[in-house]
Amino acid sequence: MTKKYSMGIVQRLCLKDVETMAASQGFKMTPQRRMIIGFLEGATSHPTADEVYFAVNKKIPMTSRATVYNTLNWLKSVDMLRERFEGDKVRYDPNCERHHHFICRCCGLVEDIHFDSLQDLGLIDLPQDHSVESYEITLRGICKGCE
Amino acid sequence: MTKKYSMGIVQRLCLKDVETMAASQGFKMTPQRRMIIGFLEGATSHPTADEVYFAVNKKIPMTSRATVYNTLNWLKSVDMLRERFEGDKVRYDPNCERHHHFICRCCGLVEDIHFDSLQDLGLIDLPQDHSVESYEITLRGICKGCE
DNA sequence: TTGATTGCAAACGGTTTGCATGGGA
DNA sequence: TCCCATGCAAACCGTTTGCAATCAA
Protein backbone atom coordinates (compact mmCIF):
# COMPACT_ATOMS: atom_id res chain seq x y z
CA MET A 1 0.00 0.00 0.00
CA THR A 2 2.18 2.82 -1.27
CA LYS A 3 1.34 6.48 -1.01
CA LYS A 4 -0.32 7.45 -4.26
CA TYR A 5 -2.74 10.02 -3.07
CA SER A 6 -2.52 13.72 -2.56
CA MET A 7 -5.48 16.07 -2.52
CA GLY A 8 -3.78 19.21 -1.37
CA ILE A 9 -4.97 20.51 1.94
CA VAL A 10 -7.41 18.11 3.53
CA GLN A 11 -9.14 19.80 6.42
CA ARG A 12 -10.65 16.87 8.21
CA LEU A 13 -11.27 13.25 7.41
CA CYS A 14 -14.69 12.82 5.79
CA LEU A 15 -16.35 9.92 4.03
CA LYS A 16 -17.02 11.88 0.87
CA ASP A 17 -13.33 12.65 0.37
CA VAL A 18 -12.37 9.05 1.04
CA GLU A 19 -14.91 7.80 -1.51
CA THR A 20 -13.50 10.17 -4.10
CA MET A 21 -9.95 9.16 -3.33
CA ALA A 22 -10.77 5.44 -3.37
CA ALA A 23 -12.54 5.69 -6.71
CA SER A 24 -9.68 7.53 -8.33
CA GLN A 25 -6.96 5.31 -6.87
CA GLY A 26 -8.58 1.93 -7.40
CA PHE A 27 -9.25 1.20 -3.75
CA LYS A 28 -12.54 -0.40 -2.76
CA MET A 29 -15.04 0.87 -0.28
CA THR A 30 -16.61 -1.67 2.04
CA PRO A 31 -19.25 -1.43 4.79
CA GLN A 32 -16.47 -1.88 7.37
CA ARG A 33 -14.44 0.98 5.96
CA ARG A 34 -17.49 3.21 5.87
CA MET A 35 -18.26 2.40 9.51
CA ILE A 36 -14.71 3.09 10.60
CA ILE A 37 -14.52 6.35 8.70
CA GLY A 38 -17.95 7.36 9.97
CA PHE A 39 -16.81 6.85 13.54
CA LEU A 40 -13.58 8.78 13.03
CA GLU A 41 -15.46 11.64 11.35
CA GLY A 42 -17.53 12.17 14.44
CA ALA A 43 -14.82 11.54 17.00
CA THR A 44 -14.10 14.58 19.13
CA SER A 45 -11.22 12.96 20.95
CA HIS A 46 -8.34 11.06 19.41
CA PRO A 47 -9.37 7.41 19.47
CA THR A 48 -7.06 4.44 19.82
CA ALA A 49 -7.26 1.50 17.43
CA ASP A 50 -9.12 -0.45 20.09
CA GLU A 51 -11.64 2.29 20.65
CA VAL A 52 -12.34 2.27 16.93
CA TYR A 53 -12.64 -1.51 17.02
CA PHE A 54 -15.17 -1.54 19.85
CA ALA A 55 -17.17 1.42 18.56
CA VAL A 56 -17.54 -0.12 15.12
CA ASN A 57 -18.42 -3.54 16.50
CA LYS A 58 -21.17 -2.05 18.60
CA LYS A 59 -22.92 -1.19 15.35
CA ILE A 60 -21.73 -3.97 13.05
CA PRO A 61 -20.64 -6.86 15.27
CA MET A 62 -18.33 -8.26 12.68
CA THR A 63 -15.27 -6.18 11.99
CA SER A 64 -11.96 -7.73 12.82
CA ARG A 65 -9.03 -5.97 14.38
CA ALA A 66 -7.06 -6.72 11.23
CA THR A 67 -9.55 -4.72 9.19
CA VAL A 68 -9.47 -1.85 11.64
CA TYR A 69 -5.67 -1.67 11.49
CA ASN A 70 -5.71 -2.14 7.74
CA THR A 71 -8.10 0.77 7.32
CA LEU A 72 -6.28 3.03 9.76
CA ASN A 73 -2.98 2.37 8.01
CA TRP A 74 -4.56 2.94 4.65
CA LEU A 75 -5.93 6.35 5.69
CA LYS A 76 -2.58 7.19 7.25
CA SER A 77 -0.72 6.29 4.08
CA VAL A 78 -2.82 8.73 2.05
CA ASP A 79 -2.43 11.51 4.62
CA MET A 80 -6.06 11.55 5.66
CA LEU A 81 -5.40 10.48 9.22
CA ARG A 82 -2.61 11.31 11.64
CA GLU A 83 -1.02 9.06 14.19
CA ARG A 84 -0.01 10.55 17.52
CA PHE A 85 1.56 9.16 20.64
CA GLU A 86 -0.24 10.54 23.64
CA GLY A 87 0.22 9.50 27.22
CA ASP A 88 1.43 6.01 26.53
CA LYS A 89 -0.58 4.88 23.57
CA VAL A 90 -0.95 5.53 19.88
CA ARG A 91 -3.99 7.56 18.96
CA TYR A 92 -5.51 8.58 15.66
CA ASP A 93 -6.34 12.15 14.83
CA PRO A 94 -8.89 12.77 12.07
CA ASN A 95 -8.17 16.48 12.11
CA CYS A 96 -5.64 17.14 9.37
CA GLU A 97 -5.94 20.88 9.53
CA ARG A 98 -2.92 22.56 11.05
CA HIS A 99 -3.61 22.67 14.72
CA HIS A 100 -2.01 22.52 18.12
CA HIS A 101 -2.76 20.41 21.17
CA PHE A 102 -3.42 20.82 24.82
CA ILE A 103 -2.64 17.78 26.97
CA CYS A 104 -3.77 17.45 30.57
CA ARG A 105 -1.06 15.93 32.73
CA CYS A 106 -3.67 14.69 35.15
CA CYS A 107 -6.31 12.85 33.09
CA GLY A 108 -4.54 12.68 29.75
CA LEU A 109 -7.22 14.63 27.93
CA VAL A 110 -6.09 15.84 24.53
CA GLU A 111 -7.81 18.87 23.08
CA ASP A 112 -7.28 20.43 19.68
CA ILE A 113 -6.28 24.06 19.72
CA HIS A 114 -7.24 26.02 16.65
CA PHE A 115 -4.13 27.06 14.81
CA ASP A 116 -4.97 30.74 14.72
CA SER A 117 -5.55 30.97 18.44
CA LEU A 118 -1.83 31.00 19.09
CA GLN A 119 0.33 33.66 17.56
CA ASP A 120 2.31 32.75 14.50
CA LEU A 121 5.92 32.04 15.29
CA GLY A 122 7.26 33.82 12.25
CA LEU A 123 9.76 31.95 10.18
CA ILE A 124 12.43 34.51 10.96
CA ASP A 125 12.86 32.91 14.33
CA LEU A 126 13.29 29.38 13.04
CA PRO A 127 16.74 27.80 12.88
CA GLN A 128 18.50 28.20 9.57
CA ASP A 129 20.42 24.93 9.39
CA HIS A 130 17.43 22.79 8.49
CA SER A 131 14.56 23.47 6.19
CA VAL A 132 11.52 23.85 8.41
CA GLU A 133 8.20 23.14 6.74
CA SER A 134 5.76 23.24 9.60
CA TYR A 135 5.47 23.36 13.32
CA GLU A 136 3.03 22.48 16.03
CA ILE A 137 2.77 23.52 19.63
CA THR A 138 1.95 21.21 22.51
CA LEU A 139 0.55 22.92 25.57
CA ARG A 140 0.69 21.02 28.84
CA GLY A 141 -1.14 21.67 32.06
CA ILE A 142 -4.29 20.84 33.97
CA CYS A 143 -7.68 20.83 32.30
CA LYS A 144 -10.76 22.49 33.73
CA GLY A 145 -12.23 19.16 34.87
CA CYS A 146 -9.16 18.17 36.87
CA GLU A 147 -8.57 21.48 38.59
CA MET B 1 8.58 2.40 42.48
CA THR B 2 6.62 5.50 43.34
CA LYS B 3 7.68 9.02 42.56
CA LYS B 4 9.49 10.27 45.64
CA TYR B 5 12.08 12.50 44.13
CA SER B 6 12.13 16.11 43.13
CA MET B 7 15.25 18.18 42.79
CA GLY B 8 13.77 21.28 41.29
CA ILE B 9 15.02 22.11 37.83
CA VAL B 10 17.28 19.40 36.55
CA GLN B 11 19.06 20.54 33.44
CA ARG B 12 20.32 17.30 32.04
CA LEU B 13 20.66 13.76 33.29
CA CYS B 14 24.05 13.26 34.90
CA LEU B 15 25.54 10.49 37.00
CA LYS B 16 26.41 12.77 39.87
CA ASP B 17 22.80 13.88 40.31
CA VAL B 18 21.55 10.33 40.10
CA GLU B 19 24.04 9.20 42.77
CA THR B 20 22.86 12.00 45.05
CA MET B 21 19.23 11.17 44.46
CA ALA B 22 19.76 7.43 44.96
CA ALA B 23 21.62 7.98 48.22
CA SER B 24 18.92 10.24 49.62
CA GLN B 25 16.03 8.09 48.48
CA GLY B 26 17.34 4.67 49.43
CA PHE B 27 17.94 3.42 45.90
CA LYS B 28 21.05 1.43 45.13
CA MET B 29 23.61 2.16 42.46
CA THR B 30 24.91 -0.77 40.45
CA PRO B 31 27.51 -1.09 37.69
CA GLN B 32 24.68 -1.64 35.20
CA ARG B 33 22.91 1.54 36.25
CA ARG B 34 26.11 3.50 36.02
CA MET B 35 26.76 2.19 32.51
CA ILE B 36 23.26 3.02 31.36
CA ILE B 37 23.35 6.50 32.83
CA GLY B 38 26.82 7.06 31.42
CA PHE B 39 25.58 6.20 27.97
CA LEU B 40 22.52 8.43 28.25
CA GLU B 41 24.64 11.32 29.53
CA GLY B 42 26.70 11.29 26.38
CA ALA B 43 23.91 10.56 23.94
CA THR B 44 23.39 13.37 21.48
CA SER B 45 20.36 11.78 19.88
CA HIS B 46 17.38 10.32 21.68
CA PRO B 47 18.11 6.62 22.04
CA THR B 48 15.57 3.81 22.08
CA ALA B 49 15.60 1.19 24.83
CA ASP B 50 17.25 -1.23 22.42
CA GLU B 51 19.96 1.24 21.51
CA VAL B 52 20.73 1.60 25.20
CA TYR B 53 20.75 -2.16 25.59
CA PHE B 54 23.22 -2.73 22.75
CA ALA B 55 25.44 0.20 23.64
CA VAL B 56 25.77 -0.93 27.24
CA ASN B 57 26.36 -4.56 26.32
CA LYS B 58 29.16 -3.54 24.00
CA LYS B 59 31.03 -2.42 27.10
CA ILE B 60 29.71 -4.79 29.75
CA PRO B 61 28.35 -7.82 27.91
CA MET B 62 25.97 -8.72 30.69
CA THR B 63 23.12 -6.35 31.14
CA SER B 64 19.67 -7.72 30.53
CA ARG B 65 16.87 -5.93 28.78
CA ALA B 66 14.89 -6.15 32.02
CA THR B 67 17.56 -4.10 33.77
CA VAL B 68 17.64 -1.56 30.97
CA TYR B 69 13.88 -1.09 31.13
CA ASN B 70 13.96 -1.09 34.91
CA THR B 71 16.57 1.67 34.95
CA LEU B 72 14.87 3.74 32.26
CA ASN B 73 11.56 3.56 34.11
CA TRP B 74 13.25 4.43 37.36
CA LEU B 75 14.84 7.56 35.89
CA LYS B 76 11.55 8.45 34.26
CA SER B 77 9.69 8.10 37.54
CA VAL B 78 11.99 10.60 39.23
CA ASP B 79 11.75 13.06 36.33
CA MET B 80 15.36 12.69 35.27
CA LEU B 81 14.55 11.23 31.87
CA ARG B 82 11.80 11.96 29.40
CA GLU B 83 10.00 9.55 27.17
CA ARG B 84 9.04 10.67 23.70
CA PHE B 85 7.31 9.04 20.79
CA GLU B 86 9.16 9.93 17.64
CA GLY B 87 8.58 8.53 14.20
CA ASP B 88 7.11 5.24 15.29
CA LYS B 89 9.06 4.29 18.38
CA VAL B 90 9.55 5.34 21.96
CA ARG B 91 12.76 7.23 22.60
CA TYR B 92 14.40 8.55 25.74
CA ASP B 93 15.53 12.12 26.09
CA PRO B 94 18.17 12.88 28.74
CA ASN B 95 17.71 16.60 28.24
CA CYS B 96 15.29 17.80 30.88
CA GLU B 97 15.83 21.47 30.23
CA ARG B 98 12.92 23.16 28.51
CA HIS B 99 13.58 22.75 24.85
CA HIS B 100 11.95 22.25 21.51
CA HIS B 101 12.53 19.70 18.78
CA PHE B 102 13.19 19.55 15.10
CA ILE B 103 12.18 16.29 13.39
CA CYS B 104 13.27 15.38 9.88
CA ARG B 105 10.43 13.78 7.95
CA CYS B 106 12.92 12.04 5.73
CA CYS B 107 15.41 10.30 8.05
CA GLY B 108 13.65 10.74 11.36
CA LEU B 109 16.50 12.71 12.91
CA VAL B 110 15.49 14.47 16.11
CA GLU B 111 17.44 17.53 17.13
CA ASP B 112 17.04 19.57 20.27
CA ILE B 113 16.32 23.25 19.73
CA HIS B 114 17.44 25.51 22.52
CA PHE B 115 14.43 27.03 24.18
CA ASP B 116 15.55 30.61 23.76
CA SER B 117 16.14 30.29 20.06
CA LEU B 118 12.42 30.51 19.39
CA GLN B 119 10.50 33.51 20.49
CA ASP B 120 8.48 33.16 23.64
CA LEU B 121 4.83 32.63 22.92
CA GLY B 122 3.63 34.89 25.67
CA LEU B 123 1.02 33.49 27.98
CA ILE B 124 -1.45 36.13 26.87
CA ASP B 125 -2.08 34.15 23.74
CA LEU B 126 -2.74 30.86 25.48
CA PRO B 127 -6.30 29.58 25.87
CA GLN B 128 -8.02 30.56 29.08
CA ASP B 129 -10.18 27.50 29.68
CA HIS B 130 -7.36 25.28 30.89
CA SER B 131 -4.44 26.05 33.10
CA VAL B 132 -1.39 25.87 30.88
CA GLU B 133 1.88 25.15 32.66
CA SER B 134 4.30 24.70 29.81
CA TYR B 135 4.57 24.26 26.11
CA GLU B 136 6.92 22.86 23.56
CA ILE B 137 7.24 23.38 19.86
CA THR B 138 7.89 20.64 17.33
CA LEU B 139 9.40 21.81 14.08
CA ARG B 140 9.09 19.49 11.10
CA GLY B 141 10.95 19.56 7.84
CA ILE B 142 14.00 18.22 6.06
CA CYS B 143 17.39 18.18 7.72
CA LYS B 144 20.57 19.37 6.06
CA GLY B 145 21.77 15.82 5.42
CA CYS B 146 18.64 14.79 3.57
CA GLU B 147 18.28 17.87 1.40
C1' DT C 1 22.48 -8.91 57.13
C1' DT C 2 18.83 -7.33 54.41
C1' DG C 3 16.13 -6.12 50.95
C1' DA C 4 16.76 -3.81 46.47
C1' DT C 5 18.50 -5.27 41.95
C1' DT C 6 19.71 -8.59 38.66
C1' DG C 7 19.19 -12.24 34.80
C1' DC C 8 16.36 -15.34 32.84
C1' DA C 9 12.39 -16.93 30.72
C1' DA C 10 7.70 -16.76 30.40
C1' DA C 11 3.84 -13.74 29.87
C1' DC C 12 1.64 -9.84 27.94
C1' DG C 13 -0.58 -6.56 24.77
C1' DG C 14 -0.75 -4.19 20.68
C1' DT C 15 0.10 -4.74 15.79
C1' DT C 16 1.16 -7.33 11.60
C1' DT C 17 1.04 -11.29 8.57
C1' DG C 18 -0.41 -15.53 5.85
C1' DC C 19 -3.94 -17.66 3.86
C1' DA C 20 -8.37 -19.13 2.35
C1' DT C 21 -12.95 -17.00 1.72
C1' DG C 22 -15.88 -13.34 0.35
C1' DG C 23 -17.52 -9.36 -2.17
C1' DG C 24 -16.91 -4.56 -4.75
C1' DA C 25 -16.37 -2.63 -9.17
C1' DT D 1 -14.71 -11.94 -13.59
C1' DC D 2 -10.88 -10.19 -11.14
C1' DC D 3 -8.43 -9.06 -7.49
C1' DC D 4 -8.94 -6.17 -3.37
C1' DA D 5 -10.57 -6.63 1.30
C1' DT D 6 -11.98 -9.53 5.04
C1' DG D 7 -11.73 -12.77 9.16
C1' DC D 8 -9.20 -15.79 11.62
C1' DA D 9 -5.32 -17.40 13.96
C1' DA D 10 -0.62 -17.50 14.34
C1' DA D 11 3.41 -14.78 14.46
C1' DC D 12 5.88 -10.77 15.91
C1' DC D 13 8.04 -7.42 18.76
C1' DG D 14 8.72 -4.33 22.41
C1' DT D 15 7.86 -4.28 27.26
C1' DT D 16 6.63 -6.20 31.78
C1' DT D 17 6.51 -9.71 35.29
C1' DG D 18 7.67 -13.69 38.51
C1' DC D 19 11.16 -15.79 40.74
C1' DA D 20 15.44 -17.38 42.58
C1' DA D 21 20.14 -15.76 42.95
C1' DT D 22 23.10 -11.84 43.81
C1' DC D 23 25.10 -7.89 45.74
C1' DA D 24 25.21 -2.82 47.44
C1' DA D 25 24.84 -0.51 51.66
**pLDDT tens-digit readout, B12-67:** 999 999 999 999 999 999 999 999 999 999 998 889 999 999 999 997 778 999 99
Residues contacting residue A74 through CB under 8 Å, at least 6 positions apart:
A1, A27
Q: In whole angstroms, give the CA distance from residue B145 to residue B147.
A: 6
Q: What's the pLDDT score for residue A74?
A: 97
Q: Are residues B125 and A117, on separate chains, in Cβ contact within 8 Å? A: yes
Q: In whole angstroms, give the CA distance from residue B85 to residue A84.
A: 8
Residue-wise pLDDT for A1-28, tens only, equals 333 334 444 579 999 999 999 999 999 9
Average pLDDT rounded to a whole number, residues B106-130: 69
Q: Which range is least confidently modeled, A29-43, A87-101, A125-139, B40-54?
A: A125-139
| Average pLDDT of chain B, as a whole number | 83
Which amino acid is present at B43? A
State how far residue A60 is from chain B, nearest Cα, in angstroms: 30
A105 contacts in chain B (CB < 8 Å)? 133
Q: Measure Cα distances from B36 to A89, B4, B76 in Å.
A: 25, 21, 13
φ/ψ (deg, to 5) at A63: -130, 120
| pLDDT for residue B71 is more than 90 | yes
Tell me how crowded residue B9 is: count the other CB atoms within 10 A of its CB: 7
Which amino acid is present at A135? Y
A96: left (phi over 0), alpha (psi -120 to 50) or beta: alpha
Q: What's the pLDDT score for residue A29?
A: 98
Pick among A3, A83, A130, A133 to test the B interface (most B CBs inside 10 A): A130
Q: What is the 3-state secondary structure (H, E, C) of chain B?
A: CCCCCCCCCCCECCHHHHHHHHHHHCCCCCHHHHHHHHHHHHCCCCCCHHHHHHHHHHHCCCCCHHHHHHHHHHHHHCCCCEEEEECCEEEEECECCCEEEEEECCCCCEEEEEHHHCCCCCHHHCCCCCEEEEEEEEEEEECHHHC
Using CA coordinates, name the residue in chain A closest to B125: A118
